[in-house]
C-alpha cells in the first residue's frame, strides 16, 4: 500500500520534556522503529509536526537583537530541514540500502484566509501566566491557554496546494523514502507569476498530510500521536475509545480544537475525498493501525 504517515509532535518531544536536541533524538528512536516497520512492507511518505521546534527557534532568534527576527516561514524551513535530518539519521541504520530525501515543501495558502486575523495554532514551550504576560508585552505575541499554562499562538491558514508535488512523485517513483511537508509545510502565497512569497503562519500538519495523501492517491493516511485512539468524552470517567467508525459518525461529534480535533478533521477530509481509509493512534501501534487491529479506523 501507499501510505502517508504523519508523526505527531510527541515523536520528538513529550509534554513537559526540555527542548534539548539529545532528548528529541532519543524520542525519535521510537519513531524510527515505527516508520521502518511500515517501510519494509509498504510505500510510505513521512510528514511531521514542528510546533515546539519552531517556537524554540523563534525564541533563539529574538535573543540576538542586532538583526530583526526572521519571519515564521523561514523559521519553518529551518525546522523542516532540522527534523527531517534527525529522522533520516534514525531510519538509515534500520533500512539499509534505502535512499531518503528530506524535501523543503512550500504549501500555498489563501492570503484572504480569516485565520490570519484569528491566531489559534500553538507553538513553542508552555509558560506560566507571568512569563506569558511578559512575552506578550515584549514581543506582541498572542498567547492562549494550553493545559495548566500558556503558549504562543499564530495564524493557521488552510493548505490549498503543495508546490513540490511533482518533485515528491518523481522521488517516490525512484524508490526514495520522502520526508516532506514537515510542520504542515512552509506557508506561501502567490505574489506574481510563478513567484511565491512566504507569510507569517504555521499550517496544521495534519491538514497538510491529508492534502498530500489525497494528491498522491494514497491507500491510507496514518496519523500517529500519543494516545491509542480517538475517544468519546475524553478526560471524563466515561471516556471510551472509538475503534471503527465512519466520517459521518465522527462529523457528529466534537473534539478538542487544540489536540484531536484537527486529526479527526484531516482524516475525514482524506477519506471523503478518496474513499480510502484513515487511522489515528499511538506511535508504537503503527503497524497494527495499518492492519486495522489498533487505533481508530475511519472509512467512508
Annotated catalytic residue 10: yes
Q: Which of 8, 9, 55, 76 is catalytic?
A: 9
Annotated catalytic residue 263: yes
Q: Using CA atoms, how far apart are residues 230 and 284, in angstroms rounded to an integer?
A: 15
Annotated catalytic residue 288: no
Annotated catalytic residue 9: yes
Instruction: Tell which residue, 105, 125, 123, has the closest CA to residue 46.
Output: 105
Instruction: Tell which residue, 163, 218, 236, has the closest CA to residue 6.
Output: 218
Q: Which of 205, 220, 279, 281 is catalytic?
A: 205
Annotated catalytic residue 50: no
Q: Which of 124, 220, 263, 279 is catalytic?
A: 263
Known catalytic residues are: 9-10, 121, 205, 263
Amino acid at each position: 500500500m501507499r501510505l502517508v504517515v504523519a508523526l505527531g509532535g510527541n515523536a520528538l518531544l513529550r509534554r513537559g520534556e526540555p527542548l534539548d536536541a539529545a532528548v528529541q533524538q532519543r524520542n525519535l528512536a521510537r519513531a524510527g522503529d515505527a516508520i521502518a516497520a511500515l517501510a519494509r512492507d509498504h510505500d510510505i511518505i513521512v510528514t511531521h509536526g514542528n510546533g515546539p521546534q519552531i517556537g524554540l527557534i523563534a525564541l533563539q532568534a529574538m535573543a540576538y537583537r542586532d538583526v530583526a527576527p526572521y519571519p515564521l516561514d523561514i523559521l519553518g524551513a529551518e525546522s523542516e530541514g532540522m527534523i527531517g535530518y534527525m529522522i533520516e539519521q534514525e531510519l538509515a541504520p534500520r533500512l539499509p540500502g534505502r535512499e531518503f530525501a528530506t524535501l523543503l515543501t512550500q504549501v500555498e495558502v489563501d492570503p484572504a484566509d480569516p485565520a490570519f486575523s484569528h491566531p489559534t495554532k500553538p507553538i513553542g514551550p508552555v509558560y506560566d501566566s507571568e512569563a506569558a504576560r511578559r512575552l506578550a508585552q515584549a514581543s506582541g505575541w498572542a498567547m492562549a491557554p494550553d493545559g495548566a499554562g500558556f503558549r504562543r499562538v499564530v495564524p493557521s491558514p488552510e493548505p490549498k496546494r503543495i508546490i513540490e508535488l511533482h518533485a515528491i512523485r518523481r522521488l517516490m517513483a525512484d524508490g526514495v523514502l520522502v520526508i516532506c511537508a514537515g510542520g504542515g509545510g512552509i506557508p506561501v502565497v502567490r505574489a506574481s507569476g510563478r513567484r511565491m512569497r512566504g507569510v507569517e503562519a504555521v499550517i496544521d500538519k495534519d491538514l497538510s498530510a491529508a492534502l498530500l495523501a489525497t494528491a498522491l492517491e494514497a491507500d491510507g493516511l496514518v496519523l500517529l500521536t500519543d494516545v491509542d485512539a480517538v475517544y468519546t468524552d475524553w478526560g471524563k470517567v466515561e471516556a471510551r475509545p472509538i475503534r471503527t467508525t465512519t466520517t459521518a459518525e465522527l462529523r457528529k461529534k466534537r473534539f478538542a480544537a487544540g489536540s484531536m480535533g484537527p486529526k479527526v478533521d484531516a482524516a475525514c477530509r482524506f477519506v471523503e475525498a478518496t474513499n480510502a481509509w484513515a487511522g489515528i493512534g499511538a506511535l508504537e501501534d503503527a503497524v497494527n493501525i495499518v492492519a486495522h487491529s489498533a487505533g481508530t479506523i475511519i472509512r467512508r
